[in-house]
């Protein structure tokens, strides 16, 4: 049925109906948002895993990763053996005012030293404060969620298969 | 002496209503409009659902610098907000909310209110012209063109109800009111409301302040307290228009238990009309300039002339 | 002197003074705004003379509509914000003469017509809407209708002028 002014009434009806419904506003500071898995909030670092291979710093398209290190000499443990040398991380910093959250550093790290944390509330009043040193990057590690579960019927991770095979060879029961 | 005290008391009450009720309407607009658009509107000022948002806005406006453009006509520029605001304060004096509950009962109250409301536009025009800004000037021209078009149906619609009641006194009109007038005077009520919206430059008739093309029309160069006065004038205008519509067409204090809570009925009807003003703003897009003029001259004026004829026939039939 | 007389005198001074400013100011829009003051003061005089209805009609029609129309027209022209020193005042003398003549004619008419008439300001409102309506539509209905015809003629003339010859443009 159509009559003059139907569209006008429809407009009023739509707005009135919307008013009686719950609004879609996200009450952000009062209620935290539900972020999707793999959200790229801030990059966390496990210092213990880092071998100062410099891959991340080299691959970074924005050149926002700063790494300083020195070589430590570990004296030979056996008589006549050779002294070992080892890289020691002095400084690992990411400048989040330059970082473009491309995730390349996290991808290339061969030792799983870098991880994404969904935390995003690290705005600063001074741009220099956005350069997070390794202590701060380590702190973010506590907020990194467990990796998402594998899909149904997916191949288990390589590390797990290797460990299982090793356990089988030694004749231990596998879970 | 007692008379003087009474007059002072009435003026004080009207002044208080003038300062508080527009803020109330503004807050309703904030919240109702937000929820109609599936938002929540102000939530923090004052703690509970942002009830003090407009108070906070007022404090902010007062703190701002008083800027007058270098090329502006200083005196006219500074006077404009007052000229825009005062008429609505004066108009409020004559609007009754209950039997005897009126700032000053005038013999020709209807004429008084309509005449005074027309003056407010001069303030907007002064602001538009004296700002020495092309957006302000264009906005001013649009305000004037809009007023020219809508003043006629506005006054004629008011005349229709005055004819039906046989008096120009607002109190007299409410006393003569009868529920079946809701049907008899429906076209006049519609025309009065629509033309009133257009005179206040409320959406969907806000082409003079169309932000996408004219920044803020005549108010572009204003800031701080003077800007706040213009906005207050707009909301005071909504209050006056809503109260007038309630008194003229919706029967003022008529309703159940009118002897005890009649004034509450007037306020409730005024609030309802004010809510519709907000509702219309959310529901409809802005009218283009030519559509605006066409609506006035080809829609409202013939409709209200027809209404005048119907009213005249009704009055003659009923009096015979 | 009574309060009414003092107010009347003050309003008269305001009306005359602002009227003078209307014609002497060098800024076009100021002239229109001074006209608002003049018309407002005249409305005040009407109020003092108990002609309530005429007073508010004065405000509604002149301040609310005519001045707005004037300002509208001024905004459409290229009137600058500042004063215009080159405003044409060459015909000031003839204008003063005409104004004086009009004043004399109107003054004599009013004095001759209403000399000695006393207005009872404390009694019933003589200028209420009811009395004004009754006077216009009973006693003065013929002049009223003649005026209507005059206005209609002006309206038709305006339409004819604004339509042009009808050959220009696409319409």
Domain residue limits at B218: 7-33+54-319
Alpha carbon distance B148, B167 (integer Å) = 26
Residue with tokens 């009213």: B311
Question: Looking at the DSSP assignment, which residues form a beta bridge with residue A143?
Answer: none
Share of chain B above pLDDT 90, in %: 8
Task: Look at residue C150 in the predicted model and tell me its pLDDT.
Answer: 94
Task: Look at residue C166 in the predicted model and tell me its pLDDT.
Answer: 55
**HSE-up of B184 (CA within 13 Å, CB side)?**
22
What average pLDDT does chain B have?
A: 86
**Residue A106 covered by a domain:** yes
C92 sits in the region (left: phi over 0; alpha: psi -120 to 50; else beta) called: alpha
Task: Look at residue C170 in the predicted model and tell me its pLDDT.
Answer: 45
For B285, the closest chain A residue by CA position comes to A11
- Partners of residue A24 in chain B, C-beta under 8 Å: 38-39
Q: Binding site annotation covers A50?
A: yes
Q: Do the Cβ atoms of B283 and A23 come within 8 Å?
A: no
**Sorting pLDDT into bands at 50, 70 and 90, what band is B303?**
very high
Task: DSSP letter for B209, please.
Answer: G
**Sorting pLDDT into bands at 50, 70 and 90, what band is B262?**
confident
Encode A136-170 in three state secondary structure.
HHHHHHHHCCCCCCCCCCCCCCHHHHHHHHHHHHC
- Residues composing chain C: 171
Q: Do the Cβ atoms of B39 and A8 come within 8 Å?
A: no
Based on the structure, what is the number of domains in chain A? 1
Query: Are the CB atoms for B135 and B252 separated by under 8 Å?
Result: no
Among residues B161, B312, B169, the alpha carbon closest in space to that of C129 is found at B169
pLDDT at C120 over 80: no
**Residue B244 covered by a domain:** yes
- How far is residue B81 CA from its own chain's centroid? 16
Which domains can be identified in chain C, with CATH numbers?
Answer: 1-83 (1.20.120.1200)
Taking only the tens place, the pLDDT of each residue in A112-161 is: 899 999 999 889 999 999 999 988 999 999 989 888 788 888 888 888 88
Query: Are the CB atoms for A96 and A105 separated by under 8 Å?
Result: no
Q: Provide the edge-to-edge strand list for the sheet that holds A131-132.
A: A65-74, A84-95, A131-132
Residue with tokens 């033309």: B195
pLDDT at B68 over 70: yes
**Residue A10 covered by a domain:** no
Alpha carbon distance B39, B37 (integer Å) = 6
In chain C, DSSP finds a helix count (H) and a strand count (E) of: 7, 0
**Residue A13 covered by a domain:** no
Query: Could you tell me whether strands A42-45 and A84-95 are parallel, antiparallel, or unpaired per DSSP bridges?
Result: unpaired
- For residue B185, CA distances in Å to A103, B266, B311, C27 come to 70, 18, 8, 46
Taking only the tens place, the pLDDT of each residue in B281-291 is: 988 888 888 88
Q: Give me A72's structure tokens.
A: 């430590």
- Partners of residue B37 in chain A, C-beta under 8 Å: 18
Q: Is the pLDDT higher at B243 or at C74?
A: B243
Measured CA angle at B58 (ends B56, B62), to 5 deg = 120
pLDDT at C101 over 90: yes
Question: Looking at the DSSP assignment, which residues form a beta bridge with residue A87?
Answer: A71
Does the pTM surpass 0.95? The reply is no
**Interchain contact B275–A (C-beta under 8 A):** no
**Residue A9 covered by a domain:** no
Q: Binding site annotation covers A53?
A: yes
Q: What does the pLDDT average to over A164-169?
A: 86
pLDDT at C122 over 80: no
**Residue A170 covered by a domain:** no
Taking only the tens place, the pLDDT of each residue in A72-109 is: 888 888 888 888 888 888 999 999 999 999 999 999 99
Taking only the tens place, the pLDDT of each residue in B163-190 is: 888 888 888 888 888 888 888 888 899 9
Alpha carbon distance B155, B132 (integer Å) = 32
Domain residue limits at A144: 34-75+83-149
Q: What does the pLDDT average to over B260-279?
A: 87
Based on the structure, what is the number of domains in chain B? 1
pLDDT at C105 over 90: yes
**Sorting pLDDT into bands at 50, 70 and 90, what band is B191?**
very high
Q: How close C11 comes to chain B (CA, Å)?
A: 19
**Residue A164 covered by a domain:** no
- Residues composing chain A: 175
Q: How close B203 comes to chain C (CA, Å)?
A: 22
Alpha carbon distance C47, C54 (integer Å) = 8
Q: Binding site annotation covers A99?
A: yes
- For residue C168, CA distances in Å to C155, C156, C165 come to 22, 20, 7
Alpha carbon distance B96, C85 (integer Å) = 50
Which residues of A fall below an 8 Å CB-CB distance to B? 8, 11-12, 14-16, 18-19, 21, 23-25, 27
Torsion of CA B206, B208, B209, B212, to 10 degrees: 90
Touching chains, B (3+ CB pairs < 8 A) = A, C
Q: Give me B149's structure tokens.
A: 């078009």
Instruction: Report H helices in chain A.
Output: 6-20, 55-59, 104-108, 134-140, 158-169
- Partners of residue C72 in chain B, C-beta under 8 Å: 125, 141, 144-145, 148
Contacts of B144 (CB under 8 A, 6+ apart): B121, B125, C68, C69, C71, C72, C75
Contacts of B313 (CB under 8 A, 6+ apart): none
Query: Are the CB atoms for B34 and B40 separated by under 8 Å?
Result: yes
Q: Do the Cβ atoms of B36 and A16 come within 8 Å?
A: yes
Q: Give me B224's structure tokens.
A: 């701080």
Q: Give me C62's structure tokens.
A: 């002149």
Helix (H) or strand (E) holding B164: helix B134-165
Task: DSSP letter for B142, please.
Answer: H
Q: Annotate B218-235 with DSSP letters as a single string.
A: GGTT--HHHHHHHHHHHH
- How far is residue A150 CA from its own chain's centroid? 18
| CATH code, domain with A115 | 3.30.70.3270
Taking only the tens place, the pLDDT of each residue in C1-24 is: 788 888 888 999 999 999 888 888
Contacts of A139 (CB under 8 A, 6+ apart): A44
**Residue A2 covered by a domain:** no
Task: Look at residue A174 in the predicted model and tell me its pLDDT.
Answer: 55
Q: What does the pLDDT average to over A1-11?
A: 84
Task: Look at residue C151 in the predicted model and tell me its pLDDT.
Answer: 92
ipTM for the predicted complex: 0.77
Task: Look at residue B151 in the predicted model and tell me its pLDDT.
Answer: 86
């Amino acid at each position: 049925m159509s009559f003059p002014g139907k569209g006008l009434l429809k407009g009023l009806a739509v707005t009135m109906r919307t008013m009686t419904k719950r609004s879609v506003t996200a009450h952000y500071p009062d209620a935290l948002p539900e972020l999707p898995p793999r959200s790229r909030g801030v990059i966390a670092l496990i210092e213990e895993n880092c071998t100062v291979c410099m891959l991340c710093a080299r691959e970074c398209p924005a050149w926002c990763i700063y790494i300083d290190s020195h070589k430590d000499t570990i004296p030979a443990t056996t008589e006549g053996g050779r002294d070992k040398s080892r890289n020691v991380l002095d400084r690992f910093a990411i400048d989040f005012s330059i970082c473009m959250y491309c995730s390349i550093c996290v991808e290339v790290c061969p030792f799983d030293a870098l991880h994404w944390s969904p935390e995003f509330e690290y705005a600063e009043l001074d741009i220099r404060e956005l350069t997070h040193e390794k202590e701060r990057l380590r702190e973010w590690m506590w907020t990194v969620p467990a990796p998402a579960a594998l899909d149904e019927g997916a191949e288990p991770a390589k590390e797990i298969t290797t460990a299982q095979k090793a356990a089988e060879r030694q004749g231990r029961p596998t879970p | 002496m007692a008379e003087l005290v009474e007059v002072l008391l009435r003026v004080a009450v009207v002044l208080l209503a003038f300062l508080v009720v527009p803020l109330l309407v503004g807050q309703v607009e904030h919240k109702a409009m937000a929820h109609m658009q599936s938002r929540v509107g102000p939530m923090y000022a004052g703690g509970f659902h942002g009830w003090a948002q407009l108070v906070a806005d007022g404090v902010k406006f007062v703190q701002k610098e008083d800027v007058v453009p270098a090329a502006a006509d200083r005196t006219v520029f500074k006077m404009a907000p007052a000229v825009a605001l005062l008429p609505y304060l004066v108009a409020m004096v004559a609007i009754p909310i209950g039997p005897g509950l009126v700032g000053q009962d005038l013999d020709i109250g209807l004429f008084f209110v309509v005449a005074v409301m027309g003056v407010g536009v001069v303030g907007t025009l002064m602001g538009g012209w004296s700002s020495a800004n092309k957006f302000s000037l264009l906005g001013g021209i649009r305000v004037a063109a809009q007023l020219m078009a809508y003043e006629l149906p506005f006054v004629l619609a008011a005349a229709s109800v005055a004819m039906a009641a046989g008096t120009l006194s607002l109190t007299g009109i409410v006393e003569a009111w009868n529920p079946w007038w809701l049907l008899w005077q429906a076209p006049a009520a519609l025309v009065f409301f629509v033309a009133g919206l257009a005179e206040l430059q409320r959406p969907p008739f806000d082409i003079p302040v169309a932000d996408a093309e004219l920044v803020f029309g005549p108010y572009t160069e204003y800031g701080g307290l003077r800007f706040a006065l213009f906005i207050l004038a707009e909301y005071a205008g909504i209050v006056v228009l809503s109260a007038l519509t309630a008194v003229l067409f919706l029967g003022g204090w008529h309703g159940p238990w009118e002897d005890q809570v009649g004034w509450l009925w007037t306020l409730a009807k005024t609030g309802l009309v004010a809510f519709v003003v907000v509702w219309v703003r959310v529901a409809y897009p802005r009218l283009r300039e030519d559509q605006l003029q066409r609506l006035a001259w080809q829609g409202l004026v013939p409709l209200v002339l027809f209404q005048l004829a119907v009213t005249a026939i009704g009055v003659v039939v009923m009096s015979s | 002197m009574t309060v009414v007389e003092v107010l009347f005198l003050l309003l008269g001074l305001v009306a005359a003074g602002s009227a003078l400013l209307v014609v002497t100011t060098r800024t076009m829009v100021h002239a229109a705004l001074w006209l608002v003051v003049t018309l407002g003061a005249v409305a005040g005089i009407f109020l003092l003379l108990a002609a309530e209805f005429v007073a508010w009609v004065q405000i509604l029609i002149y301040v609310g509509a005519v001045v707005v129309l004037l300002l509208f027209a001024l905004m459409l022209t290229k009137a600058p914000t500042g004063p215009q020193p080159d405003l044409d005042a060459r015909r000031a003398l003839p204008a003063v003469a005409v104004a004086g003549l009009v004043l004399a004619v109107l003054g004599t008419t009013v004095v001759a017509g209403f000399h000695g008439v006393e207005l009872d300001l404390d009694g019933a409102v003589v200028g209420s809407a009811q009395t004004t309506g009754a006077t216009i539509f009973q006693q003065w209905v013929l002049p009223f209708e003649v005026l209507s015809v005059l206005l209609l003629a002006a309206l038709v003339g305006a339409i004819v002028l604004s339509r042009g010859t009808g050959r220009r443009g696409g319409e």
